[in-house]
Structure 1
Amino acid sequence: MKAFLKELATQRWDDHRYYHHSRINQSLHLVSAISFVVAYGLLWIEPAYAAILAWCVSMTTRQAGHFFFEPRGYDEVNQATDEYKEEIKVGYNIRRKIVLMGAWVALPLLLWLQPSLFGLIEPAVGWAGYAHDVGLAWLFLGVSGLLFRVAQLTWQQSLGTGLVWMSKILTDPFHDIWLYHKAPLHLLRGELIDPMAHVHGHVPSH
């Protein structure tokens, strides 16, 4: 358990110091985290609509922060290139995220053109039925994406690394609320980039 918690802390630390310099990105992660927590609660009541909330609000705000606001140049704080960070990223790097988000966009179109998914499900009736099917498809995509990356990490590194990453992803909403709850305040003060003063002195050599 000690080793598990130590690796979890390392993955969280690397994720923060490498990929969350922008205060806008941090603020969007706060919005994402809060909506994910709501989606977790809704999952027990209506899984399809929980998935719609998670993908349409939580994931879009989270990924918008990374795609549009996070600096992609040389990381002076960590003395690392963007290429290096993308190569060592434990979770979904930008390339993998593009594939995942592409699948997210494609699923509603597939269900519109093939309501029965080639005979696998009963065709939806009306807009509510269509939205319900899309939600379930997105829920399947989310679970599949999670398990697929765990399998990849198990193959490439170890089962422990994969399980730690899965635990990190599932608990990130709660951790992000604690970590970034002050980000909007910093943003209102005009601070667009986190100075990351807490990172200095903890940077490994590359």
Structure 2
Amino acid sequence: MSSFREQLREQRWDDHRFYHHSLINQSLHLLSACTFLACYGLLFVDPAAAALIAWTVSMTSRQAGHFFFEPRGYDNVNGVTHRFKEEVKVGYNLVRKLVLTLFWAAAPLLLLAAPALFGLLEARPGVAGFLHNLGLIWLVLGCAALVFRMVQLFFIRDVMTGIVWATKILTDPFHDISLYWRAPARLMRGERLGHGFVAASR
């Protein structure tokens, strides 16, 4: 158990120090985390609605912070390049996130072409029915992405790494709130990078 806690602490610290320099990114993660927590509760009431909100608000805000606001140049604080960080990323690096985003964006098009998803879903009429089924597809996609990367880590790293990573992902909303609740106020004061970080050249 101590090894599990140590690895979880290490993965969380690496995630923070390597990938969350920007206070805009931190603020977007705060928004994402709060929304994810609401979605966790909504899962027990309306799973499809929870998935819709999670993907359209939580995931888009979260990934926008990484794609558009994080420095891509040399990380002077940690002494590593952006390329190095992408190579050692335990979870979804930017390339893997892009692939996942393409699957997410393709889901509505697939559902328009096959409203019953080849017999896997009940075709529902109207916009509400479409959104309900889309939410179910996105829910399965999110679960599949989590399980796929966890099992992949079993083979390319080890079982403990995969389990720790999955635990980290599921508990990130709680951890992000504790880390980044001050970020919006600091951003409004004109700060742009987190404490201890200096601007990296692009």
TM-score, normalised by the number of residues in structure 1: 0.94
CA deviation string 1:148-197 (max 9, x = no partner): 00011001011100000000000000000000000011101100011337
Instruction: Indicate the residue corresponding to 2:200 in structure 1.
Output: none
Any gaps of 5 or more consecutive residues in structure 2?
Answer: 198-202
Instruction: Indicate the residue corresponding to 1:183 in structure 2.
Output: 183
Identity among equivalent positions (%) equals 59
1:167 aligns with 2:167: yes
Instruction: Indicate the residue corresponding to 2:105 in structure 1.
Output: 105
Instruction: Indicate the residue corresponding to 1:147 in structure 2.
Output: 147
Instruction: Indicate the residue corresponding to 1:200 in structure 2.
Output: none
Instruction: Indicate the residue corresponding to 1:17 in structure 2.
Output: 17
Aligned residues: 197
Instruction: Indicate the residue corresponding to 1:44 in structure 2.
Output: 44
CA deviation string 1:20-46 (max 9, x = no partner): 000000000000000000000000000
Indicate if the aligned counterparts of 2:35 and 2:57 stay in contact, CA closer than 8 A: yes
Instruction: Indicate the residue corresponding to 1:70 in structure 2.
Output: 70
CA RMSD of aligned residues (A): 0.8
Please report how far the alpha carbon of residue 120 of structure 1 lies from its aligned counterpart in structure 2 after TM superposition.
Answer: 2.5
What amino acid does structure 2 have at the position aligned with 1:107? Answer: A
Instruction: Indicate the residue corresponding to 2:79 in structure 1.
Output: 79
CA deviation string 1:76-108 (max 9, x = no partner): 010000010000000100000000011001001
Please report how far the alpha carbon of residue 57 of structure 1 lies from its aligned counterpart in structure 2 after TM superposition.
Answer: 0.3
Indicate if the aligned counterparts of 2:32 and 2:59 stay in contact, CA closer than 8 A: yes
Instruction: Indicate the residue corresponding to 1:88 in structure 2.
Output: 88
What amino acid does structure 1 have at the position aligned with 2:146? Answer: L
Q: What CA distance in whole angstroms lies between the structure 1 residues aligned with 2:120 and 2:181?
A: 44
Instruction: Indicate the residue corresponding to 2:158 in structure 1.
Output: 158
What amino acid does structure 2 have at the position aligned with 1:23? Answer: L
Indicate if the aligned counterparts of 1:23 and 1:187 stay in contact, CA closer than 8 A: yes
What amino acid does structure 2 have at the position aligned with 1:25? Answer: N
Indicate if the aligned counterparts of 1:27 and 1:184 stay in contact, CA closer than 8 A: yes
Q: What CA distance in whole angstroms lies between the structure 2 residues aligned with 1:177 and 1:43?
A: 20
Indicate if the aligned counterparts of 1:17 and 1:196 stay in contact, CA closer than 8 A: no
Instruction: Indicate the residue corresponding to 2:3 in structure 1.
Output: 3
Any gaps of 5 or more consecutive residues in structure 1?
Answer: 198-206
Q: What CA distance in whole angstroms lies between the structure 2 residues aligned with 1:120 and 1:27?
A: 38
Please report how far the alpha carbon of residue 123 of structure 1 lies from its aligned counterpart in structure 2 after TM superposition.
Answer: 1.4
Secondary structure at the counterpart of residue 28 of structure 1: helix
What amino acid does structure 2 have at the position aligned with 1:40? Answer: Y
1:32 aligns with 2:32: yes
Structure 1 stretches of 4+ with a deviation exceeding 3 A read none
